[in-house]
Amino acid sequence: MPEDDAALSAEEELTLARLALGEGDLQHAADHVAAALVRSPTLPEAHETLARLNAASGGDLDLFPLGQQAFVGAVVARAHLLAAAGRPAEGLDLLAAATGYAPVTPWAAVPWVTAADLPERLDPERTARILMQVCAAAPDPAPRRLREPLAPYLTLARNAITVHPAHPLLLGAASALARRLGEVTLAVTWATRGVRAQPTKLGEVWLGYAYRSAGRTAEALAALERAVALDPDDLAVYADIAGTLADHGRLDAALGWVDRALAKDPTFDCAVHTAHRLRYLRDGNVDHLVALADFVRDHPDDTHEHGDLAECCRGRPWLGQVTPAGDDAPAPDGSAASAAAVRRLQQLAHPAWAHPPAAYDAAVGLATLDLADLLALLAHPPEAPATALGRVLGGQDPALWTRCAQVWACLGLLHHRTDEPWERSTRRRVLGELAAGDLGPAAEAALFALVTAAWVHPETRADVAALVSGRIAEAAAGPARRDPVVVSLAYLARATPALDPAARATADRLIAGAEGGPLRRLWRRLTALFRSG
C-alpha cells in the first residue's frame, strides 16, 4: 500500500477534489479525496467530500481500486463507502488492512466504527477475525503511540460483546486486543468469560496470556497447560509455557517443557530457539548460542521471527559489543588508507552488534577493500565520523571509537579472498599473525575476527579454539592477570565456539578474579556511554 509522496495538505487536496468534482472529473476528485484521507483520516470535510463524490458517481467503488499496489488512501476511502452501502464488515476488513500497513494512523477513528449499533449488523465471528487482524498489527503490549489509534477497535469490541455476550471467539479476540492496549483487567474478564462459554485451546491461550500480563503467573501456567491438554500437538504453547517459567527463574522446569516439544519435533523452531537460549542462561556455555546460530543458518526459510540469539548476546562482552578500550589504543589517524576505505569503515564501524554472525554479515561492506587498506585502517584508524554516534564517541571516549575501527577492520579481513581455502588463506594467515602478536588492541581485534569466523564457519572452529586456548593460557600464566586487556581476552575466550573446558575454566577464573576491578569500572562507563548515544 504505497503512499503518495506529494506534499499538499489535506485541505489543499480537498480544494482540488472539489474543483475536479465540479468539472465532472470524478477520478481526479477521488484521487485527491484519497490523498486527503491519508493526510487527515478523521477530517470531517474529507468525509463530506467523499459523500458528495459517492453521490455523484452513483456509488462507484471502482474509483478507489484495490490491488497489490493499492494506495492506502484509496483502501480507506473504499472502506468508508462500503460501510455507507450497508457492507460494514467488508469496510472493517479494509480498515484493519490499513491499520496493519500503518498502525500509528487513526484510520478507524470515525463515527461508524464506534457506533453502538454496528455489531448488530455484523456476524460476531467476522468481528472476532477483524479484531485478530488488528492484533496482528500491534505488539504485546502496544507502545503508547499506538494505543489511541487502536482505541476505536476496542470500542468496537465492547459494543460487540454487549450484543453477543457469550461468543467465545469474540471474547477471546477482544481480550487479546484489550491486553495489548493495557486494559489487562478487562482482558482477563473477557478471556475468562470466553473459556466459560466454550473451553477451547485458543481460548485457554488467550486466558493464559491475559493472566500473564496481569502478573498472575500460576493461573497463566494453569491456563496454558489446559491448552496443551486440549491440543497436545500445538508445540508453540509448550514454548510459551517454557518462556513464562524462565521469566520467573524456573529454568529446569522451563527446559522440561522445551524437551517435551523437541521430543515431538526436533526441528520445531520456537522450541529450538527457546531451548538454546535457556540452556545458555542456565550454564553460560556459549556453545548453546553457537548451536542456535547454526540452526538459524541451516533453516533460512523459517517465517517466524526470533530474537533469542540477539537477546542472549545483547550487551555481553564480545558477544554483542566491544569491551572498553585500554590506554594503549593508537591515536586516530587514517592517513595511510585510501579515502574510500576510510569512508567505508566510518559508515560500518559500531561498538555494538546483534551477535557475531550479524557482525560478520555487516562487515561484508568492507569486502571490496584491498589488503593494504584494511591493514592501514587497523594500524592507523581514522577519526570518528560526523554522525550522531561518531560525535558521541569522539567527544566522550575517542579511544573507544579507535577500538571499534580496529575491530571492524579485522572483520573486513574475514571477507578478504574468501575463495581461498581456510587453512591456506591470506585472511587466516594475516589474522593469525596479528592475533599471535603482543596482547593489545590489534591482537584482540584479530582474535575477535577469528572467533567470529568460528561462529560462521564450523570447519574453522577447532583451529580458532586452539589459538584462543593458547593465548588464554599464556595470559593466565603472566604477572598481569587482573589487567583489563587480560580480562577482556577472558571474555573473548568465553565467546569462542568449541573451546576446551580447561581453557573455559581459566577464562572464568580470570573474570571472577577481576570483579570490581578496573575493567568492571570501564564496563559501567561503556554501558552508560551506549545509553547516552
* Higher-scoring residue by pLDDT: 113, 477: 113
Judge whether residue 522 has pLDDT over 90.
no
Please give the radius of gyration of the chain, using alpha carbons only, rounded to the nearest integer. Answer: 29
Q: Which helix (H) or strand (E) holds 389?
A: helix 388-396
* Beta carbons within 10 angstroms of residue 140's beta carbon: 13
The three grid cell numbers given for residue 291, joined into one nine-digit string: 548451536
CA distance 496 to 410: 16
CA distance 279 to 333: 44
CA distance 371 to 217: 56
The three grid cell numbers given for residue 323, joined into one nine-digit string: 569491551
Q: Which helix (H) or strand (E) holds 266?
A: none
Judge whether residue 487 has pLDDT over 60.
yes
Helix 251-264 vs helix 235-247: angle between axes, to the nearest 10 degrees?
170
* Beta carbons within 10 angstroms of residue 288's beta carbon: 19
CA distance 245 to 7: 51
The set of residues, in sequence order, having a beta carbon less than 8 Å from that of 38 and lying 6+ positions away, is 3, 4, 71, 72, 73, 76
Nearest to 92 by CA among 116, 71, 76, 105: 76
The set of residues, in sequence order, having a beta carbon less than 8 Å from that of 501 and lying 6+ positions away, is none
In the structure, what pLDDT confidence band is assigned to residue 327 with cuts at 50, 70 and 90? low
Residue 168 near residue 200, CB atoms below 8 Å: yes
Q: In this structure, which amino acid lies at residue 288?
A: H
Q: What is the pLDDT of residues 250-302, one digit of tens each?
A: 999 999 999 999 999 999 999 999 999 999 999 999 999 999 999 999 988 76
Q: 136-145, 167-176, 264-273 — which one is most confidently predicted on average? A: 167-176
Q: What is the pLDDT of residues 13-62, one digit of tens each?
A: 999 999 999 999 999 999 999 999 999 999 999 999 999 999 999 999 99
Task: Give the per-residue pLDDT at 117.
Answer: 96
Judge whether residue 3 has pLDDT over 70.
no
* Higher-scoring residue by pLDDT: 371, 483: 371
Judge whether residue 483 has pLDDT over 90.
no
Task: Give the per-residue pLDDT at 5.
Answer: 45
Residue 338 near residue 304, CB atoms below 8 Å: no
The dihedral formed by the CA atoms of 163, 167, 168 and 170, expressed in degrees to the nearest 10? -50
Task: Please tell me the pTM assigned to this model.
Answer: 0.80
Task: Give the per-residue pLDDT at 478.
Answer: 76
Q: What is the mean pLDDT of the chain?
A: 91
Q: What is the pLDDT of residues 414-452, one digit of tens each?
A: 999 999 999 999 999 999 999 999 989 999 999 999 999
Task: Give the per-residue pLDDT at 382.
Answer: 92
First to last CA, the chain: 34
The three grid cell numbers given for residue 68, joined into one nine-digit string: 497489490
Q: Identify the bridge partners of residue 317 per DSSP, sorted by sequence position.
A: 321
Cβ density class 304-319: b for 16+ within 10 Å, e for less = eebebbeebbeebbbb
CA distance 424 to 159: 71
Q: Which helix (H) or strand (E) holds 464?
A: helix 461-477
What percent of the chain shows pLDDT beyond 90? 82
Contacts 24+ apart (CB under 8 A), 293-297: 293/355, 293/356, 293/357, 293/455, 293/456, 294/458, 295/269, 296/357, 297/357, 297/456
Judge whether residue 116 has pLDDT over 80.
yes
Helix, strand, coil share (%) of the chain residues, nearest 5: 70, 0, 30
219 exposure class (CB count in 10 Å sphere: 0-12, 13-18, 19+): middle
436 exposure class (CB count in 10 Å sphere: 0-12, 13-18, 19+): middle
Mean per-residue pLDDT for 459-483? 88
In the structure, what pLDDT confidence band is assigned to residue 387 with cuts at 50, 70 and 90? confident
Task: Give the per-residue pLDDT at 134.
Answer: 97
The length of the chain is 533
Note if the bond before 441 is cis, omega within 30 degrees.
no
Residue 81 near residue 59, CB atoms below 8 Å: yes
Nearest to 122 by CA among 150, 157, 151, 97: 157
Judge whether residue 107 has pLDDT over 80.
yes
φ/ψ of 321, rounded to 5, equals -165, 165
Q: What is the pLDDT of residues 4-20, one digit of tens each?
A: 444 689 999 999 999 99
CA distance 320 to 327: 22
Task: Give the per-residue pLDDT at 400.
Answer: 87
What percent of the chain shows pLDDT beyond 70? 92
**Domain parsing of the chain, residue ranges:** 339-530
Task: Give the per-residue pLDDT at 301.
Answer: 73
Task: Give the per-residue pLDDT at 328.
Answer: 62
Helix (H, G, I), strand (E, B) or coil at 321: strand
CA angle 528, 530, 533 (to 5 degrees): 110
In the structure, what pLDDT confidence band is assigned to residue 69 with cuts at 50, 70 and 90? confident
CA distance 89 to 122: 6
